[in-house]
Structure 1
Amino acid sequence: MAINNPYAAYKNNSINTSTPGELTLMLYNGCLKFIQQAKNALNNENLQELNTSSQKAQAIISELMVTLDTSYPVSQNMLVLYEFVNSRLIDGNINKDAKMFEEATTIITEFRDTWKQVIQINRQKQYGDVNEI
């Protein structure tokens, strides 16, 4: 079945052609988007949207947790932080507490920014030598 929406086709294509690193970056960005939507819903007292957005962010954190390669020592620390973020999202949703969403945002933003730097460094290493020739 053909996709009639050009944006949906573009989005689908970019997901299918992205590297694992780029997909992880997309997950971080998606998580931050859903946390922001949850905070907005909390401010607007839209409890259904708060719950939906919070659960979407939690699903992304769960995906990051299950796909984490725990053979590296740093992965254990990341897993603990993911678990903390997940607990903040759950508690923020249950207690209607924006502060908990802010804590989650801070940690995921740091992960996202660090991951973005890693991708940029790898691209420079991969393609930097070609440009110097």
Structure 2
Amino acid sequence: MTAPHLRDRYLQDSVNTASPGKLLIMLYDRLVLDLGQAEQALAAQEREVAHEKITHAQEIVIELRTSLDVDAWSGAPALANIYGWMLTELIGANIARDAARVKAIRELAEPLRDTWREAAAAAVAG
């Protein structure tokens, strides 16, 4: 097997064996990465790369929204609304090629990711 195939298999195995909390953090990590790369691509006028990264970020937000159980806890409906806002902003940012909108989403996603990371660590420890 070649190195890229081994890496892909490792990544797939990591996803397949991850706990729900770890999967959530992996999604957020990738969301933040995509948003940062989209910002950079927009600044460099690399429209195709920016579109690819923003579109992937949209897919992640859709996954986060659809996997959210709004009846599980009282804050879930508000989080669903945040995901809806993110998706709307990502679509608008992609159309307008607006790095500032992408940055605003990233700046919101980062503390959400960090909060979920802390919650997952507390669940494992507790």
TM-score by length of 2: 0.91
In 2, Cα distance between equivalents of 1:13 and 1:49: 27
Counterpart of 2:10 in structure 1 is 10
How far apart in 2 are the matches of 1:26 and 1:96?
A: 26
Gap runs ≥5 in structure 1: 126-133
* Runs of 4+ with deviation above 4 angstroms: none
Residue equivalent to 1:40: 40
The answer to which of 112-121 and 43-52 deviates more is 43-52
- 1:72-83 mapped onto 2 (5 Å cutoff): 72-83=73-84
* 1:79-106 deviation digits (Å, cap 9, x = unpaired): 1111111122111111121110111001
SS at structure 2 position matched to 1:73: coil
Tell me which amino acid in the other structure corresponds to 2:53: S
* In the alignment, structure 1 residue 59 sits paired with structure 2 residue 59: yes
2:74 and 2:122 map into 1 onto residues whose CA distance is 21
1:9, distance to aligned residue in structure 2 (A): 2.0
CA distance in 2, matches of 1:51, 1:17: 30
CA contact (8 A) 2:36 2:103 kept: no
Identity of aligned residues (%): 26
Separation in structure 2 between the aligned mates of residue 33 and residue 69 of structure 1, nearest angstrom: 25
Equivalenced residue count is: 123
Q: Is the 8 A contact 1:85 1:103 kept in 2?
A: no
1:41/1:47 contact within 8 Å kept: yes
1:103 maps onto 2:104 in alignment: yes
Counterpart-to-counterpart distance in 2, 1:52 and 1:14 = 24
User: Which structure is higher in RCO with an 8 Å CA cutoff and minimum separation 6?
Assistant: 2
Contact 1:69 1:75 in 2 (8 A): yes
Select the structure of larger CA radius of gyration: 1
> 1:20-39 maps to which residues of 2 (within 5 A)?
20-39=20-39
Gaps of 5+ in 2: none
